[in-house]
Amino acid sequence: MDLNLKITQLKPYNQYVLLETKSQKTYTLVLEFYGVEKPKINDILVLNEKLLDPKFQDYCQPYAFAPFEKSDKIGDESELIGLVCKGKKYILKRIFG
């Protein structure tokens, strides 16, 4: 299930404080973005809830993301996120390495 998370704070070392819009629960994640402008306060991230669960086998911070290309192959839906900033919408893929 995807969750809409509003960026409420930016902390040092790429820590993003995120507010889940429905439950009002707060999360802190270390995120890196490549090939797009870094998200700012009030931007929205749409993440699969697996990425917030420390028990998920692929949970590992920092999470790094880059623009999704049509030719990219994705193994799991949790590897894609949405980003809404400055009225623009992006689909990003998780990158490793």
Tell me the per-residue pLDDT of 35-71, one tens digit each, with 9 for 90 and over: 999 999 999 999 999 999 999 998 999 999 999 998 8
pTM of the shown model: 0.91
Q: Is residue 81 predicted with pLDDT exceeding 80?
A: yes
Q: Is residue 7 predicted with pLDDT exceeding 90?
A: yes
Q: Is residue 77 predicted with pLDDT exceeding 90?
A: no
Q: Give, rounded to a whole angstrom, the gap between the first and last alpha carbons of the chain.
A: 26
Helix, strand, coil shares of the chain, percent, nearest 5, are 5, 50, 45
Q: Is residue 1 predicted with pLDDT exceeding 80?
A: no
What's the rounded mean pLDDT across residues 9-28? Answer: 96
